Amino acid sequence: MEPSENKTFSGFILLGFSDVPHFFLLLVSFFLVTYILCIAGNSFMIMLIVSQPQFHTTMYILMGNLAFVDVCFTSTIIPRALYGLLSKDIYISMHGCFIQLFLFLAVANMDGLLLAVMAFDRLCAVCLPLRYLIIMNNRTCICLLAFSWVIAFLQSTFYTVLTSSQSFCSWVIHHFFCDVPVLMKLACSEMSEALQIADYAIISFIILGPVLFIFGSYVLIVRAVLAIQSSQGRWKTFSTCSSHLTMVILLYSTVIFMYFRPTSIYSPTYDRFVSVAYSVINPTLNPFIYSLRNKEVKGAVRKIL
C-alpha cells in the first residue's frame, strides 16, 4: 500500500540493518563501543581544554567546540540505531524523522564549517605569525563560532522544510537514520525532480564551499612552510596542521563519495556503511587523532594521570 492510499500514514519504516540479522551481535557491539568511546574521548577533550589554562587559546577553543559537535553528531544517530537493533522496532514517526534530520544536518554542517574555521586559524598562525594574536583573538573566535552556528541552523532549517514539504511514494527507508538523499528518493510530487536538482546544487555549495576554502588555505600554508629554511622548522610548523588535515581527509573523502557519486553505483548497502564511516567512526577518532599527534595534549594527559 502506498502512503497516498493509507489515510493513517504518519511515519516511515526505518529498515536500518534489519536485512543482515546475522550481523546483529557485531553491529550492536560496534555501535555501543564506538558510542562509549566517542562520548568518553570527546568529553575528556572538552574537560581538558576547560580545566587547563594553557589550552585557553583559539586553536584549543575551536578543538573543544569540535569535540562538542562530535558528541552531538553521534548522539543524533547511534541511540536510535541501537534502539532499532535491540527492540526490532523499525518504525519512526514523521515528526521524529524530521527532527532527527534537522539535528543531523545542523551538527553535520557545523562540523564542516568548524573545520573551515580551524583551517583559517592555522593559516593565520603559519602565514601571519606576528599578527596571529591580533587577528585570531577571543572576540574573533566567538564571532566565527556564532556565525557558523547560525549558518548551520539556517541550512538545516531550509533542508528540513524542503524535504518535509514533499509527498512520498513510499515510507520504506533503506537506511539507519533519516537523511536528505534517502528521503528525496522517496519523493513523488510533481516538483520533486526540480527540487532534487536544486537540492543537489545547494548541497554541492554547502559541502564544496568549506572544502575549497580548506584546500586554498593549505596551498598557502604549504607555500609558507616550504619557504622555511630549516627542515626541522618546516616539519615542526607543518606538524601543527597534520591533525586537522587528517580529520578533513577522513570526513570529506566519505562525504564526497556519499553525496557526489554517480547514481549508477547507488546501493543502499554501500550508503549505510559509508554513512557509518563519516557519522560514527570519524567523530570517535577525532579526539584520539588530536591527543596522539599533539605534544601539549599528551603532556597534559600525562600530568593529569
Pairing of strands 11-14, 172-173: parallel
Is 104 or 168 the better-scoring residue by pLDDT?
104
Place 195 in a pLDDT band, splitting at 50, 70 and 90.
low
Nearest CA among 76, 78, 86 for reference residue 18: 86
For the chain, domains (ranges, CATH) are 12-304 (1.20.1070.10)
For the stretch 100-118, pLDDT in tens is: 999 999 998 899 899 999 9
Q: What are phi and psi of 66, to 5 degrees?
A: -65, -40
Q: Which pLDDT band holds residue 7 (cuts at 50, 70, 90)?
A: very low
Query: What is the pTM for the complete model shown?
Result: 0.85
CA distances (Å), 218 to each of 1, 127, 204, 213, in order?
53, 10, 21, 9
Q: What is the reported pLDDT for 230?
A: 75
Low-confidence winner among 63-72, 82-91, 141-150, 292-301 (lowest mean pLDDT): 292-301
Q: For residue 265, what pLDDT band results from cuts at 50, 70 and 90? A: low
Neighbours of 301 (CB within 10 A): 14
How far is Cα 181 from Cα 198, in angstroms, rounded to an integer?
12
- Is the torsion defined by CA of 111, 114, 116, 119 positive or negative? negative
Examine the pLDDT at 1 and tell me if it is beyond 50.
no
Is a pLDDT exceeding 50 seen at residue 6? no
Structure-block grid coordinates of residue 222: 604549504
Mean pLDDT for the chain overall: 82
pLDDT-derived band at 150, boundaries 50, 70, 90: very high
